[in-house]
């Protein structure tokens, strides 16, 4: 059973801005009912600022919550500001989404991109993805869309691909093809990382990027090991480079908890996120 935050439940049970907008200045539509998820986003724009947003969706509770959250996020933003919203931002606004439901936030981002392109009179940048060769017949997902998700969302496993795109979540006949694509993309990324441009400067992480990477590292690299010994960990707060966590379960009374904090938690966060992070425990 997935663990939904209270904010996800609230936006699902009490969706904001649901319904069609008759006088919309921009409309973005993605997905299809045949593939299980569809979202239509309506924007009202005045002097370059989004003053209202509504949505219609066919999908699960996470899809409804993500669309509801997105309409609240874009109101009051300029078109350029809204264009910078990523699917991770939608998930963060909701207090997090189960990994298996991240494709719902991705659908929200794509609907926003389509609506902004409609307002500007442009074609959607990733239109070719939807018209390319289909790699997952069950959900109509193209190879180009999978490759984009791997690059932009830093996907590392076949399960990640399914979570963020739904590809491979049906009959599974495309799994071998998806694994080949993943290996190619990861290989390209590794080559670029090994030989960066001599004057390339590493861009600082935004607060949202840092938050998402910390949570992802905890979920993927730290929590599974703690749970094997009956323990757990909860992310409490992030302030600058200080990360506050709370150990749970057997870890609370463990005499080696201080060692766990430094060697199993802080070292992993420094390895995968930033060498400047310092972890502190709250009880």
Question: Would you name the residues annotated as active-site residues?
Answer: 35, 104
CA-based torsion, 70, 237, 208, 192: positive or negative: negative
Who's near 197: CB < 8 A, 6+ residues apart? none
Contact of 116 with 25, CB cutoff 8 Å: no
**Greatest alpha-carbon span in the chain:** 64
State the alpha helices, DSSP H only, in the chain: 6-13, 61-74, 79-83, 87-93, 102-120, 127-131, 143-152, 158-165, 175-194, 207-217, 223-228, 257-259, 267-272
Who's near 69: CB < 8 A, 6+ residues apart? 7, 11, 16, 90, 93, 94, 108
Contact of 214 with 235, CB cutoff 8 Å: yes
Q: Are strands 26-32 and 37-46 parallel, antiparallel or unpaired?
A: antiparallel
Contact of 80 with 10, CB cutoff 8 Å: no
Beta bridge partners of 244: 237, 280
Other residues' Cβ atoms within 10 Å of the Cβ of residue 20: 11
């Amino acid at each position: 059973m997935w663990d939904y935050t209270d904010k996800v439940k609230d936006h699902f049970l009490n969706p904001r801005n649901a319904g069609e907008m008759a006088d919309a200045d921009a409309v973005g539509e993605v997905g299809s009912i045949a593939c299980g998820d569809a979202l239509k986003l309506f924007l009202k724009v005045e002097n370059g600022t989004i003053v209202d947003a509504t949505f219609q969706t066919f999908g699960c509770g996470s899809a409804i919550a993500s669309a509801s959250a997105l309409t609240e996020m874009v109101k009051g933003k300029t078109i350029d500001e809204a264009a910078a919203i990523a699917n991770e931002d939608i998930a963060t606004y909701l207090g997090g989404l189960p990994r298996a439901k991240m494709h719902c936030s991705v659908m929200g981002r794509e609907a926003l991109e389509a609506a902004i392109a409609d307002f500007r009179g442009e074609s959607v940048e990733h239109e070719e993805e939807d018209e390319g060769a289909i790699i997952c017949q069950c959900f109509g997902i193209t190879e180009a869309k999978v490759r984009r998700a791997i690059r932009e969302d830093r996907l590392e496993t076949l399960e990640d691909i399914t979570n963020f795109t739904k590809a491979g979540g049906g009959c599974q006949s495309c799994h071998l093809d998806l694994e080949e694509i993943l290996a190619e993309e990861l290989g390209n990324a590794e080559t670029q990382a090994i030989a960066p441009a001599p004057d390339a400067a590493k861009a600082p992480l935004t607060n949202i990027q840092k938050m998402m990477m910390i949570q992802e590292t905890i979920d993927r690299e730290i929590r599974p090991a703690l749970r094997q010994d009956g323990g757990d960990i909860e992310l409490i707060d992030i302030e600058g480079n200080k990360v506050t966590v709370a150990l749970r379960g057997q870890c609370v009374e463990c005499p080696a908890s201080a060692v766990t904090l430094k060697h199993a938690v802080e070292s992993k966060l420094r390895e995968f996120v930033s060498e400047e992070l310092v972890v502190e425990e709250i009880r």
